[in-house]
Amino acid sequence: MADDRPLAGKVALVTGGDRGIGKAIALRLAKMGADIAITYRKRAEEAAEALREVEAEGVRAVSVQADLGVAEQAIEAVRAVRARLGPVSILVNNAGVGFASPFEEIELESWRRQIEVNLNGAYLVTRESLKDMLSAGWGRIIFMSSVAGLRGVEFLSAYSAAKAGLIGLARALAAEVASKGITVNVVAPGFVGTRLGLSYFQWLDQRLARKPGESLKEFLSRIPPRRLVTEEEVAAVVAFLASPDASGVNGQVIVVDAGASLGLG
């Protein structure tokens, strides 16, 4: 039934879709009938496994290797998707990098890398994908920001700056294309139990000379459900925003952090 596959006939591009949150999003959109394209930078085996799982949902799937911190590669990635699957209908800007460091120790190259991938790469992929959506008169653009982009996280200054930039970009673009049948929204996850998310707490333990796992345990004690958010919980929110049912949601930032920002712990 059409209601079971509301995204049938749509092409969804999920950057950084080879693992973690990106993979969970790609699988969720595939279950809704969308053909899926993912980008990856260097984990070819993980990208291949993600494609196998996506294709098992009965949709077309392709992967494109690209470093989104390099302008030419970011643009060509979208063009490759268009050539292989067709015009992009749904874009999930998920690819990102983050390096923990005290502010005064951040090297310029590290700062640039985080801005280039997290912010500039998303801008370039969006700009190229938007051409397809404007032609079709329909589209969904979702930026994956972070609670770091809303309130900042200690030792993640560059990452927080880039993720905050995505929120400003999304809100401005949402206003610009609202009359074109295109929505632009932001999902801001809290800490998720991925390798990237857990690596932050491991770094804190080392930096603050704590026992392994102590920083994570302390953080969890302040969250009402005493657990991290899952990839699937984040993917569920993205899937709704990508769906036809979300036509009335535009320019919004949706936090998915298991209540951590409520300060109830």
Rounded CA-CA distance 204/185 in Å is: 31
The mean pLDDT of 53-76, rounded to a whole number, is: 97
The mean pLDDT of 30-54, rounded to a whole number, is: 96
| Sheet of 139-144, strand order | 61-65, 35-40, 11-14, 90-93, 139-144, 182-189, 253-256
Instruction: Indicate the pTM of the whole model.
Output: 0.94
Residue with more model confidence, 196 or 174 = 174
Active site residues: 159
Domain residue limits, the chain: 2-190+230-258, 193-228
Helix (H, G, I), strand (E, B) or coil at 67: coil
Rounded CA-CA distance 111/12 in Å is: 30
Whether domain 2-190+230-258 has CATH 3.30.413.10: no
Per-residue pLDDT tens for 79-120?
Answer: 999 999 999 999 999 999 999 999 999 999 999 999 999 999
**Rg value, the chain, Cα:** 18
| Assigned token pair, 206 | 């080392």
- What pLDDT sits at residue 226? 87
Residue 174: which of 264, 224, 241 has the closest Cα? Answer: 241
Instruction: Indicate left, alpha or beta for 123 from its phi (over 0: left) and psi (-120 to 50: alpha).
Output: alpha
How many other β-carbons are positioned within 10 Å of the β-carbon of residue 36? 29
The mean pLDDT of 187-204, rounded to a whole number, is: 90
Residue 22: which of 146, 245, 194 has the closest Cα? Answer: 194
